[in-house]
Amino acid sequence: MPPCRPCVPRASQSLPAPLRNAPWLRRLGLSVLFTAALSVLAASTDGVVTHPVPNPLLRADGSPIATAAEWSGQQRDALLSRFEREIYGRTPTTAVPMTADVREDVVLEGGALRRKQVRLTFRSEEGIATAELLILAPGRSTGPVPIFLGLNSGGNWTISQDPGIAAPAGHKRGRHERRWPVDFIVQQGYAVATLCCDDFFPDKNIESYPQSMQRLFPADQRGPGADQWGAIATWAWGLSRALDYLASDPLLDSARVAVIGHSRLGKAALWAGARDARFALVIANNSGCGGAALSKRIAGETVRDINSRFPHWFCGNFRAYNDREAKLPVDQHQLIALIAPRAIAVGSASDDAWADPLGERMALELAQPVFALFGIPSLDAPHPGDRQRLHYHLRPGEHDILLPDWQAYVRFADRVYGRIRD
């Protein structure tokens, strides 16, 4: 694994100082900064080749987008379709009926914690499947609480030592407890909602399609295929189905749901947030290639790397860009832009070169012109106030999601939801 390069300038900082500090550039704003940054992206400031990236404020015919209304219309839909066609695959529009069975609803720890376990059952003419949803919430809340919703890998019992969380016999509890600091999150007034990604698509290999929830859809709507959905899109679909349930639960505030994911599940959280505007906040932690990192920046995990190791994650068309990233018609800053004007947080780790922290930061910066159309302050605005919708942090250490990451995300969520102000 190549070493991390934490001292490399950010995209905006790689502009020559006289240009970067020019008063006229500051007055003209982010769209000019984006255009100027494009001219230097192809240069190798750190020994890494970065191919030119698409300008999100240009339509396919080259005409500019100047207003939020123009972005929110056909441009956004067209861009989402390109991501479906080239990277994530098409998610079917066919509805699969879902029912929810509350298996447990108890208050614990002297009233401090409420635990709910809900079985989601999906039925179609093709079959039946279930997913287990775990909710851990403040026990003394007087009204609906905001939520962090994310998939886990391994089962709900892996996020806590709690013996009351349903688990198959012999399975070790709390294996991923460090990644889910439930006590801290609940003490801050938030609920945690989680499901296992394998309930929706077993994260094994290309042979997992028949075991996934894709089996509930007509045969012509299942993968694998050139533009058929893979595991990432299936996991994203599952997150939206969990949100369907959360919206029905009076304990929870469905208008303040943050969808969160780490690593491969960070990719799924980003795709879910791009597709489903009900998510108020989208959080991608160490999500790398196919997540927040620029694909056209050839650093860390590349398109060939990810398609070779995980051919079940994306649609078949994505493989056409193995070693051909320059030909890719979209890049991840545009995916981040699809979340505007909602909130987006990207977290990196300094020693996680495989996920390319610089590429993650650059993608967030290059999405800023779209957020600016909605009057959202820039990432580094000194006093963003209650309009803050962009967050980035670089945590010391390796590929993981830890308490310092969650502390940053909770504080950002507090700002987004108006719970604290500058």
Tell me the per-residue pLDDT of 118-145, one tens digit each, with 9 for 90 and over: 999 999 999 999 999 999 999 998 889 9
Output DSSP code: residue 86: I
Cβ–Cβ < 8 Å for 203, 285: no
The answer to whether residue 213 is domain-embedded is yes
Catalytic (active-site) positions: 263, 399
Confidence of residue 385 (pLDDT cuts 50, 70, 90): confident
Choice between 331 and 25, residue whose per-residue pLDDT is larger: 331
* pLDDT (tens digit per residue) in 182-216: 999 999 999 999 999 999 999 999 999 999 999 99
| SS percent in the chain: helix, strand, coil, step 5 | 40, 20, 40
- Total number of domains constituting the chain: 1
Residue 86 lies in a domain: yes
Kindly state the tokens that stand for 5. Answer: 């390069």
d(CA 351, CA 355): 9
- Residue 41 in any domain: the answer is no
406: containing domain: 82-97+133-416
Q: What is the CATH number of the domain that holds 215?
A: 3.40.50.1820
Write the secondary structure of 148-177 as one string of H (helix), E (strand) and C (coil).
EEEEECCCHHHHCCCCCCCCCCCCCCCCCH
Counting residues of the chain whose pLDDT is more than 70, the rounded percentage is 89
pLDDT of residue 368: 97
Mean pLDDT throughout 386-400? 96
Q: 186: helix, coil or strand? A: helix
Sign of CA dihedral 410, 110, 102, 249: negative
The answer to whether residue 30 is domain-embedded is: no
The answer, yes or no, to whether residue 236 has pLDDT greater than 70, is yes
Structural domain includes residue 187:
yes
pLDDT of 2: 40
Report the C-alpha gap between 347 and 285 in whole angstroms.
5
| Residue where the block lists tokens 């300038």 | 9
**Please, is 100 exposed, middle or buried when counting C-beta atoms within 10 Å of its C-beta (0-12, 13-18, 19+)?**
middle
Give the pTM.
0.90
Of 260, 279, 271, 291, give the one whose Cα is nearest residue 181: 260
What confidence tier does 45 reach under pLDDT thresholds 50, 70, 90? Answer: low
Res 109: pLDDT: 86
pLDDT at 23 over 50: no
Token pair of 312 as six digits: 């079940």
Residue 310 has pLDDT above 70, yes or no: yes
As a whole number, mean pLDDT of residues 152-159 equals 97
Lowest mean pLDDT among 7-21, 56-70, 118-132, 309-323: 7-21
User: What pLDDT is attached to residue 9?
Assistant: 31
Please report the pLDDT score of residue 46 as a whole number. Answer: 66
In a domain, 35, yes or no: no
Check residue 383 and give its pLDDT: 83
The answer to whether residue 372 sits within a structural domain is yes
Residue 384's pLDDT is what? 84
Q: Residue 248 and residue 229: Cα distance in Å, rounded?
A: 27
Match 């050139």 to its residue by tokens: 226
Report the pLDDT averaged over residues 271-294: 98
Residues with Cβ < 8 Å from 28, sequence gap 6 or more? none
Instruction: For residue 361, give Cα distances in angstroms to 134, 152, 298.
Output: 32, 25, 15
Q: Judge whether 33 lies within some domain.
A: no
